[in-house]
A and B are shown apart, each in its own frame.
Chain A
Amino acid sequence: DVKVTQSSRYLVKRTGEKVFLECVQDMDHENMFWYRQDPGLGLRLIYFSYDVKMKEKGDIPEGYSVSREKKERFSLILESASTNQTSMYLCASTGTIGFAGQPQHFGDGTRLSIL
Chain B
Amino acid sequence: AQTVTQSQPEMSVQEAETVTLSCTYDTSESDYYLFWYKQPPSRQMILVIRQEAYKQQNATENRFSVNFQKAAKSFSLKISDSQLGDAAMYFCAYRRKLTGNQFYFGTGTSLTVIP
The yes or no verdict on A and B being binding partners is yes
Do B107 and A58 touch across chains, with their CB atoms under 8 A apart? no
Between A and B, how many residue pairs show CB distances below 8 Å? Answer: 53
Q: B47: shortest Cβ distance to chain A, in Å? A: 4
Partner among B37, B43, B91, B100 whose Cβ is within 8 Å of the Cβ of A100: B100
Chain A residues within 8 Å of B44, by CB: 106-109
If A42-B107, A90-B45, A100-B96 touch, whether A56 touches B91 (CB-CB below 8 Å) is no
Do A106 and B45 touch across chains, with their CB atoms under 8 A apart? yes
Do A100 and B102 touch across chains, with their CB atoms under 8 A apart? no
B84 on the A face (CB < 8 A):
no
What is B's interface to A at a CB cutoff of 8 Å? 1, 6, 9, 32-33, 35, 37, 43-47, 50, 52, 91, 93, 95-98, 100-103, 105-108
Chain B residues within 8 Å of A31, by CB: 101
Tell me how many residues of A have a C-beta within 8 Å of chain B: 24
Chain B residues within 8 Å of A108, by CB: 43-44
> Which residue of chain A has its CB nearest to the CB of B51?
A101
Bound-state CA distance A106–B46 (Å) is: 7
Do A50 and B9 touch across chains, with their CB atoms under 8 A apart? no
Chain A residues within 8 Å of B52, by CB: 101
Partner among A41, A45, A101, A104 whose Cβ is within 8 Å of the Cβ of B107: A41
Per-position 1/0 for A11-52, Cβ under 8 A of B: 000000000000000000001010100001111110010100
> Which residue of chain B has its CB nearest to the CB of A4?
B44
Bound-state CA distance A104–B100 (Å) is: 12
Bound-state CA distance A90–B46 (Å) is: 12
Chain B residues within 8 Å of A48, by CB: 101-102
